[in-house]
Structure 1
Amino acid sequence: MRATVFHGPGDVRVEEVDRPELTGPDDAIVRITHTAICGSDLWFYRGDSDRETPSRVGHEPMGIVEATGEDVRRVREGDRVFAPFAIGCGECQYCRAGLPTSCEHGESWSDHGGAQSEYVRVPHADGTLVRVPDRYADDERALEALLPLTDVMGTGHHAARSAGVDVGSECVVIGDGAVGLCGVLAARRLGAKRIVAVGHHEDRLALAEAFGADATVDGSTREDPIERVKELTHGGVDHAVECVGAASAMETAVGVCRPGGTVGYVGVPHGMDGGFPIFEFFTDNVTLQGGVAPVREYADDLMADVLGGTLDPSPIFTKTVPLDDIAEGYRAMDEREAIKVLVRV
């Protein structure tokens, strides 16, 4: 089969590799039809994080079940499924508590063929795979709207939820990448009455407005984003949704929070060499809550809204490539020509 293999910074290739096989009774084999390139994939692509070479990559799978082990009960051959970026058993104490990202038996997609490939082996299939209702199994529009639930939509939802956004809230979403844009969608879905989106790219902020942001702040200008947000919100907000992970984003998040507010964060921390603004959190009693998004926990509720027509994150895909051209997709995202790339297999 064909699979995407990382050979070093700026070097991803589609190569012929062995097709995965069932190795355990709770396994499934999924034929990938759709997958995506994630912003976190750019870390190793740019050389910003270490990764073994060569290694298989990708963690956002959607496809058709080809085979199942004897203990698999929730999916069967022929089912349309998708899966979150984290593999979880669905049965351990952390999975039952709604934290499948801390699963006692959790594993990485890269250990099972990577999701940017033609096939993938899914351990703990019952705990990991999400079955799409048969009615939508071949509905391309619905499938493209569901694919972000493998990662960025669930992650944006986790950020907004961690920030305490609910009906009538006024909030700020920091970051105009795919996760930040999904954070805007999530905040609107949770009932926020006013959303301010902060980013650095005019086209992405325009999409934030289309997703429901009432106002935007372009941090690439000379204007101080914290001061501008305070002007727009009469002094700040109680809920800040941090979707970047950089020190500057966290500084903005705590800077726009009113005393007693909450920062919900999902941006993987990086660039914190200059220090974390702990004193600002301390002096104003600002709560920090969030972390790795347990997207499997949210998938069924979000899927219901997607299929019900009230949620559509698919516009975050601004470029589509076939698997054989995935290197072009990486390049486009690396050079910010695309927000997120959908890969058809």
Structure 2
Amino acid sequence: MLDKKFSPERQSAFAARYEAQKIAFGPVVFQCVRYAWKRGMLQALADAGQEGLEVSQMAATGRWTEYALKVVLETCLSAGVVYLQGGRYVLDKAGYCVLTDSITQINIDFTHDVCYEGLFKLEQSLDSETPQGLTTFGNWSTLYQGLSELPAQVKQSWFAFDHFYSDTSFPSILPDVFASAPKRVMDIGANTGKFSCAALAYNPSVELHLVDLGRQLAVAKATLVSAGVADRAHLHPTDLLDAAAPLEPGMDVIWMSQFLSCFSEPAIASILERAAAALGPRGQVLIMDTFWDRQRYDIASYCLINTSPYFTAMASGNSKIYESGDYIRLAQAAGLELLTARDDIGYCHSLLRFAKAETNVV
């Protein structure tokens, strides 16, 4: 486990109080900075360069009132997004990140569109371990059951968030997936079918078995058909929360990417037990996920740790971004032994490779 340090070792009482106020007004700052980005204020300042712009100049364009400009830009000033120079606002480095950095924009959209309203019910969600905030969008027990029915903008932001973290990893992990020359690969939590399509394209002889909820597999099927690889894919509609639901046996590789973090520890234990039972001779379980304890930089750990409340309030009520040791412990209890662990995949992924304890073959 990597030790993470998110603040200076010696923080004065005054500095600590300032940090505490940033927490207190965090939601206010978030909304104002988002407004400045979405409504073009930050772009206008970027276009002006180091000369900056006065509020009156910006208001003269008719795009914003002086009132809106003062309220929003003063908050941006307090957050280090802009700075004042001779009465003119100039875009600062944090503002350039908001304006140009894709992961910052994806995280902002995800937080605003998917999480913001529902997080008001985080307290109730934590107390009940159910996603009370999900009622913002519909009456489902988990977000995954209603994923295909979410409002268009919410769905767009959710998939952009999900795919950014996973898609950056796919190109480099296919050699890992096929290192043991598997003929039958199971993709548990197939989602839209993007990994299955990549695997089928990478190896023309492999047979893919996709496991997910029926409504998600319908989306995955369309992706497979569009890619022209549906003939080597088999769909298995399964509610993985049903501990009695078995998995197709005889698999050479069982693949799970950003999947187990959607579940509680007892559910993960059940899934891993069934995965172990579904392995063929010399079969392996490969788990790729975002573990906050295996990140090289604190910024990645910060983003991952603060994704966990989304799982609480919106997704399932009892899942989170886990430490790698949690998966390893639960896998061992399911009769699986860790063979290898590879970090620094894509943006922030690690890949854990397991086999049945008695097999112990890489």
| Category of TM-score, reference length = shorter chain | 0.3 to 0.5
TM-score if structure 2 supplies the norm length? Answer: 0.37
TM-score if structure 1 supplies the norm length? Answer: 0.38
Higher-RCO chain (CA-CA 8 Å, sequence separation at least 6): 1
Q: Which of the pair has more CA radius of gyration?
A: 2
Higher helix share: 2
